Chain A
């Protein structure tokens, strides 16, 4: 009987309830969209921030050179034992490590002009810095000792293009490289020349010595920090530093966006509750006679108000469900606009949105409390 009465209540007031349903659905759509965005945002932001390049740098303790381009000399005390570092690094490598490369910097000369040369695993460069734009080709092998990559400014300074050859001199030794490509890094790397680590070691007449390791690790600022701490504990004598501007920016943006979304969700819930409240206030007035009669027939307030609350619950659940579905489309649209990537539907958003809309609708059903004061004798007299 409960179901029959509930169905009749919903059918009997479909006009008024439809207006409330539209309001609940609209609210649920925005909330569902925002929640989908929020749940997917960590992944999206992490991906975006990984595009900014390496976010972890390992160097000898006590050195504080910049993450990319601190220039030492082969006999510098800042140099690290490549084998020791990379062996331990290999043991701690997880699926979150997108790219990693050792770096040995020297200041070589071309045509008597000094230029910073970075010896590294050249095949890792596009993984470390996916935003670098290359004119020409990447060097595919990290052992390649005949090709190099030029930074945009270095290429401009020496008037080189991909396909040209460049000769580098260092402490009386020289090597000639074919220019595979010219990169536009938008950073200090634009002034540098990238050659393979073996080629740099040959030029520097050193072996197994590196200045730093750059890593690109995916994950949140917190998880990267945790990974860095783990690395640091297994690499005593070395500094493992998250590149602060990247991780902090990620953390701040995530925090602020979450705060914004939480505020908007709260505001929408309040507005939805107000809309339901207006509808229920009108319905409560209309139903005074029904309630008076139900009371006269022996209906307890719990049973009577339970009926009306169930009606509001159905309203909230229906609006929440419809809004959850529509919210996926909204999230996808926002994802395309904000991240240039589609937002995946998160199924946990459905129950969450529905629950929130039911609660908001229930909060909007406060006028039903007034029905408790209805005196059946007064109502039945027609007053």
Chain B
């Protein structure tokens, strides 16, 4: 089976700063990859390019057969809606929409909304009784669980998680990691940026970046 993600000599420059410098690797369907490295090593840039939030300066990034670098603005929007599920460190929920509406927003941009499916997704992350709450009325952990439900609602090919537990306390971190483990066991492909070695150890493979280059690939035994 062809890899879901194929990265080939990927480069990204911000002016004179080289954020990614010839990164190449593949990700198979159902793999859980942890991307690690110090600040400024290019982890988030890599995730952003794979998610169609940014474009590479050179190289190729294929996701499910789509070369992200070749997509125009509307093609990128379609790509993000149909193939990617994002989980951000800062949760990034729309503050004036309820938990349910935040999940339905992703459905709306994907195709059509299905409220019962959105309720079910929130129930799955343990927020069945908080669906009508605004983000400001939810704890950080609850907000991140809404973000997880939102990321999964459109059944994306690839889940991109950028420091998903970076802003959570230990209890909520454990809840979110349990959710990620469940997703993985269900066959979802996950690329997760993390600083924590213990969290990185949960992944099938750990890819270490340093100065925009692939420093090390560690496969879990």
Contacts and interface: CB of A to CB of B under 8 A. Distances in A.
Nearest to B112: A1
B53 A296 contact: yes
Interface hub of A289, A293, A301 (most chain B Cβ within 10 A): A293
A8 B93 CA distance: 14
Contacts of A285: none
B88 A298 contact: no
Given A11-B96, A303-B109, A377-B53, A298 B101 contact: no
Nearest to A13: B96
B54 A377 contact: yes
Contacts of B105: 1, 5, 294, 297
A294 B92 CA distance: 10
B92 A380 contact: yes
B106 A380 contact: no
Contacts of B78: 298, 300
A8 B96 contact: yes
A74 interface: no
B108 interface: yes
B48 interface: yes
A200 B111 CA distance: 91
Contacts of A162: none
A376 B92 CA distance: 11
A381 B44 contact: yes
Interface string B64-82: 0000000001100111111
A295 interface: yes
Contacts of B150: 297
Chain B interface residue bracket vs A: 20 to 34
A12 B80 CA distance: 27
Given A8-B101, A376-B53, A381-B44, A298 B92 contact: no
A294 B44 CA distance: 19
Contacts of B44: 381
Contact of A377 (B48, B74, B81, B154): B48
B81 A299 contact: yes
Interface string A1-33: 110110011011000000000000000000000
A284 to B, nearest CB: 16
Q: Looking at B74, B82, B94, B106, which has the most chain A CB atoms within 10 Å of its CB?
A: B94
Given A5-B97, A12-B96, A301-B77, A382 B109 contact: no
A1 B104 contact: yes
B80 A9 contact: no
Contacts of A8: 96-97, 101
B32 interface: no
Contacts, number: 77
A204 to B, nearest CB: 91
A298 B77 contact: yes
Interface string B169-180: 000000000000
Contact of A297 (B54, B95, B96, B109): B109
A82 to B, nearest CB: 82
Chain A interface residue count: which class? Answer: 20 to 34
B80 A298 contact: yes
A28 to B, nearest CB: 27
A93 interface: no
Contacts of A2: 108
Contacts of B200: none
Given A8-B97, A296-B51, A380 B108 contact: no
Among A1, A293, A298, A380, which residue has the most Cβ atoms of chain B within 10 A? A298
B77 A295 contact: yes
A290 to B, nearest CB: 6
Interface string A287-315: 00110011111111101000000000000
B82 A298 contact: yes
B101 A380 contact: no
A309 B51 CA distance: 28
Given A298-B106, A298-B109, A4 B101 contact: yes
A304 to B, nearest CB: 9
B88 A290 contact: no
Contacts of A300: 74, 77-78, 109
B189 interface: no
B81 A298 contact: yes
Contacts of A297: 80-81, 86, 105-106, 109, 150
Contact of B108 (A1, A11, A290, A301): A1
Which of B54, B77, B86, B106 has the largest count of A CB atoms less than 10 A from its CB? B77
Given A297-B105, A380-B92, 12 more contacts: A293-B92, A295-B80, A297-B150, A298-B77, A298-B78, A298-B79, A298-B84, A298-B106, A298-B110, A298-B154, A375-B53, A381-B44
7 contacts: A1-B108, A296-B80, A296-B92, A297-B106, A298-B154, A300-B77, A375-B54
Interface of B: 44, 48, 51, 53-54, 73-74, 77-82, 84, 86, 88, 90, 92, 94-97, 101, 104-110, 113, 150, 154
* 9 A-B pairs closest in CB distance: A298-B81, A12-B96, A298-B80, A377-B53, A1-B108, A299-B109, A1-B113, A298-B109, A300-B77
